[in-house]
Amino acid sequence: MAGIDYAKLREQVPIEKVLALVEFFAVESSGDERRGPCPIHGSNSAASRSFSANIRKHTFRCFKCGAGGNQLDLWVAISKLPLHEAARDLCQRLAIAVPEIKRR
């Protein structure tokens, strides 16, 4: 199995696309910040603002469950797949080629 260039994948996939895949709905937006219910732990209230995503930095943080990271970390947490499988799954769902590490 070939290696995945995770840095390149993060460059190709904005966090907005991952949020769209999980049907995240922002309750509040301010500049680059989007806040709403956490798609990881499944906030009970539609008005929840525990989850925050920065669409410019491609990062997220949930102030309730403590999850945080980049867009690939978000997909790993939601899909509950190991990193390598989650990266391939994300590429398949977004219909993009998996960025492979070039072997010399």
Q: What is the CATH number of the domain that holds 90?
A: 3.90.580.10
Q: Which of 10-24, 37-51, 52-66, 81-95 has the lowest mean pLDDT?
A: 37-51
Q: Which residues contact 86 (CB under 8 A, 6 or more apart)?
A: 72, 75, 76, 79
For the cut 60, the answer to whether the pLDDT of residue 64 exceeds it is yes
Residue 37 is assigned to a structural domain of this protein: yes
The verdict on residue 102 lying in a domain is no
Cα distance between residue 15 and residue 55, in whole Å: 6
Residue 1 is assigned to a structural domain of this protein = no
pTM (two decimals)? 0.89
Q: Which of 89, 44, 34 is nearest to 65 (CA)?
A: 44
What pLDDT, in 10s, does the model give residues 24-59?
989 999 999 999 999 998 777 777 889 999 999 999
Is 89 within a domain?
A: yes
The pLDDT of residue 43: 75
% of the chain beyond a pLDDT of 70:
96
Boundaries of domain holding 16:
6-94
Give the model's pLDDT for residue 47. Answer: 72
Q: How many structural domains compose the chain? A: 1
Evaluate whether residue 55 is within a structural domain. yes
Q: What is the dihedral of CA 92, 94, 96, 102, to 10 degrees?
A: -70
In the predicted structure, residue 14 carries a pLDDT above the cut 60: yes
Please tell me the predicted confidence (pLDDT) of residue 104: 64
Distance CA 20, CA 34 (A): 12
Q: Is residue 99 part of a domain?
A: no
27 vs 50: CA distance, rounded Å: 10
Q: Tell me if 100 is assigned to some domain.
A: no
User: Is residue 24 one of the residues assigned to a domain?
Assistant: yes
